Amino acid sequence: MIKIVEVGPRDGLQNETATVPVDAKVAFVNALSDTGVSEIEVSAFVSSKMVPQLRDAGTVFKNIRRKKGIIYSALVPNIKGFDRAVDADVEKISVFTAASETFNQKNINTTVDGSLDRFQPVVKRAVKQGLPVRGYISTAFWCPFEGKINPEAVVVLTQRLMDMGINEVSISDTIGKATPEEVKKLMDVLLAKVPVENIAVHFHDTYGRGIANVLQSVSYGIRVVDASAGGLGGCPFAPGATGNVATEAVAQALIRASETVNVSVKGIINARRCLDPYLQKHDPALPAPESLACSTCEFFNNKKCCGKKISS
């Protein structure tokens, strides 16, 4: 089964300038909890000056309705953020670096080595407390400042993260420029040295290749895919980075590729609509939920679905 990590509440909202109130964020997460996603990245415990949209992370975590079987995670950059995350009962933490030296400098004002030094104490504390840790590698394919990234640099960085005790590494196409062929080249060298079960993928859809890149990754045996409801998202520190690949589109594509995906497309679309009054970005051209789901049951799951064809 493919596990979907829903990153909309964090990566989807972090670059939005419109104020989204706590109640709306809580409603969004609660609605996502009923869709079948495996994990929800609820927020980030970062500087409110750098990412003001997520200043209410602790309040959001304390007000969401948690559902058994779903992991509620957060991005945590440092020990101060880690303490706040623990206080909010975060169930999994994520740390981040980039394969590009320039992107690290622009994003967090340090080198690649400096970024690892900065969050190593966070990982150590998390492991000691029994919390699973994810590591994001941004700009794994292309950097907006340096251009194309050498796949070997990503392999080395992935190994360094795993040596720290990080048990899941999300390979991220931060500016959405990767092609399926570039995904193939990276996976060929990465998975020769790193177990596939430790790898997740995170694609943006800037050039319309997000779905193709997801399918290419899944063909290598990767079973954890990040996505954002409605394609929300973008990195505030990466020029040209638009939205993440849409969760509903990922679910559709995977089921059409005969993969098992326990996610309700209708539920994802309805969850995204919780934010419409604040973001005003709902696309009226988006297919109605009933045109996406099976005509009898709304879950795309090989074991639960009645087997009728998707109508669009």
- φ, ψ for residue 243 (rounded to 5)? -65, 160
Active-site residue, from 143, 235, 274, 305: 235
Assign 3-state DSSP to the chain and report helix, strand, coil percentages, each to 5. Answer: 40, 20, 40
**Interatomic CA distance for residues 278 and 270, integer angstroms:** 15
On the 0-12 / 13-18 / 19+ scale of CB atoms within 10 A, 294 is buried
The model's pTM is 0.88
Q: What is the pLDDT along the chain (312 residues), one digit of tens a residue?
A: 999 999 999 999 998 888 999 999 999 999 999 999 999 999 999 988 888 999 999 999 999 999 999 999 999 999 999 999 999 999 999 999 999 999 999 888 999 999 999 999 999 999 999 999 999 999 999 999 999 999 999 999 999 999 999 999 999 999 999 999 999 999 999 999 999 999 999 999 999 999 999 999 999 999 999 999 999 975 544 454 568 999 999 999 999 999 999 999 999 999 999 999 998 654 443 443 333 333 333 333 333 344 332 222
List the domains of the chain with CATH numbers.
Answer: 3-300 (3.20.20.70)
In the annotation, is 305 catalytic? Answer: no
Q: 């596939």: which residue's tokens?
A: 196
